[in-house]
Structure 1
């Protein structure tokens, strides 16, 4: 993590606390999040000009340059967003963390974002009602942008491309290690699950033809439970560095299947998609869409990834941990299979 300077910290805290800060102490603690970034909770007591002391919590996210497959500028996307007027697109009930200061170190190819600390319910602690609320709020957000087409959003250059999801799937499908494994006699994944994955491959052209008829919307593209916080009746969404143009429902696939609540996956599928469509429909008429393609999107986005995770489970770990991880990934694939059978 880059060194925290007293000058920057007092400047940031003055903005956050709404009063001039002359000095402060601080401690840092790593936070979960930022797969390729460094996320720290910074806490301490700040001294005001009248010698008052104010406790504070703030988050510092440091992101070094890296190249994500098919999306090389994603490392600086949140910086670009926070520098723009993107925040004006949110509502009181659905937003991102407020930002107090951003910096770009051109020599180091590194960004620093000082942002609000969110104290809320997240991850597997989210309830079914919170899942449903998040789905509806996202649908409302995407529907509003789809209907209004704000000019400045169209002018943003650093957004992931509409074919990102398709390229991601084709990249995995071309990887012989996973492609050959589910077709091999040595594969330990149940045959009905392998067939489910193979069927998607064999029908991919027809499936993409259906998906590409769906509305193109602004997708978060990392809409999974660890990035969703529920606080005071509001939904706050973290980590916007994969955001870009995609198809209606892509984010629902992530919400349902990306390391989510496996035991309730089928229930949440049936609860969240109608909620998502309800939110979107407040701004745009999508009554003609009878094929939401979310089941197919789940398999395109997570099918081979789950196979990879299964194959890599327990690398260097104890045998029991390996078995537990593999069971988890098979269980997830089984739940996806059950979704198909209930459609």
Structure 2
């Protein structure tokens, strides 16, 4: 990803400055999703742009091409508040706008969405969780008596494993929606109450709440996590319900989604951390997820 700047000549010799982002993606293999490396190119080449509104959209694409094993996308430069500079109110607003976006698509069933061939599968999160469970480096680690991670956190994850069949039955009762699947703070830009969302390479069909789980737990400001959990879920459901009747949903499963999406990933991060500060960050994140259940 690079920012390209310059001066463009327009009619009558007039010159205008420009900022354009060039994103180059080389082929690589994501577990369970081998074509994700080219997905953003495929989506920009489709008519997906018609499903967005000015309140919630991706950056405009000026030019896209694919050459053998890499893609190049020239897109709009987006400037706004992102990452750890986001406030709780911005998290909440992003959740509500995401709800509106997914709710509208869920009801209106755009034809373009039915024609897209390169989307991640509905059960991608489940497959990734089950794959982590087979990795003894993390699965066995939280079960060792001498594990450095506090026992209550280990037990939180072990309980998920012990009850995973029941948890997935509950999750799979949720509506299937069009998910970004990388809805975390560095991909979200807040601009005067408008949301711009980048990096669509994991996009596909998934269960309602997957993206909110990412917003709450994926490298969110630690001090905001529990507050975001309590504020972003109602905001998301509020936005979604503007288009669809979801009053029958009494179990949003967001904390369970957080645990299956990020539990073992955080254990991996803790175990292989390169510094004490990094280790502490992963442990504190796990503690916050535990606190959400209190």
Task: Provide the TM-score with structure 1 as the length reference.
Answer: 0.85
Higher mean alpha-carbon deviation, 48-57 vs 167-176, is at 48-57
2:32 to 64, 70, 75: 70
Give 1 or 2 for the bigger CA radius of gyration: 1
Matching residue of 1:207: 167
5+ residue gaps, structure 1, are 1-38, 315-321
Q: Distance in 2 between matches of 1:47 and 1:84?
A: 30
* Deviation at residue 233 of structure 1 after TM alignment: 2.1
Structure 1 runs of 4+ off > 3 angstroms?
Answer: none
Q: Distance in 2 between matches of 1:327 and 1:125?
A: 21
Higher mean alpha-carbon deviation, 157-166 vs 49-58, is at 49-58
2:243 to 279, 283, 294: 283
Matching residue of 2:155: 195
1:92 to 54, 65, 85: 54
Matching residue of 2:5: 43
Q: Distance in 1 between matches of 2:272 and 2:220?
A: 19
Q: How does 1:94-109 map to 2 (within 5 A)?
A: 94-106=56-68, 109=69
* Deviation at residue 299 of structure 1 after TM alignment: 0.4
5+ residue gaps, structure 2, are none
Matching residue of 2:124: 164
Partner SS state of residue 50, structure 1: helix
Q: Distance in 2 between matches of 1:284 and 1:52?
A: 49
Q: Distance in 2 between matches of 1:179 and 1:208?
A: 19
Q: Does 1:152 align with 2:96?
A: no
Contact 2:119 2:203 in 1 (8 A): yes
CA shift digits 1:94-140 (9 cap, x unpaired): 0000110111113xx21110000011000010111111110010011
Q: Does 1:330 align with 2:283?
A: yes
Q: Distance in 2 between matches of 1:145 and 1:233?
A: 20
Partner SS state of residue 200, structure 1: helix
The total of aligned residue pairs comes to 294
* Deviation at residue 53 of structure 1 after TM alignment: 2.0
Partner SS state of residue 12, structure 2: coil
Matching residue of 2:144: 184
CA shift digits 1:183-221 (9 cap, x unpaired): 012310000000000000000000000000000001100
CA shift digits 1:300-332 (9 cap, x unpaired): 000000000001101xxxxxxx11111111100
1:79 to 35, 41, 45: 41
Matching residue of 1:21: none
Task: Provide the TM-score with structure 2 as the length reference.
Answer: 0.98
* Deviation at residue 231 of structure 1 after TM alignment: 1.0
Q: Does 1:132 align with 2:92?
A: yes
1:260 to 207, 215, 220: 220
Q: Distance in 1 between matches of 2:27 and 2:284?
A: 35
Q: Distance in 1 between matches of 2:124 and 2:66?
A: 26
* Deviation at residue 50 of structure 1 after TM alignment: 2.6
Q: Distance in 2 between matches of 1:233 and 1:181?
A: 44
Matching residue of 1:223: 183
* Deviation at residue 49 of structure 1 after TM alignment: 4.5
Partner SS state of residue 229, structure 1: strand
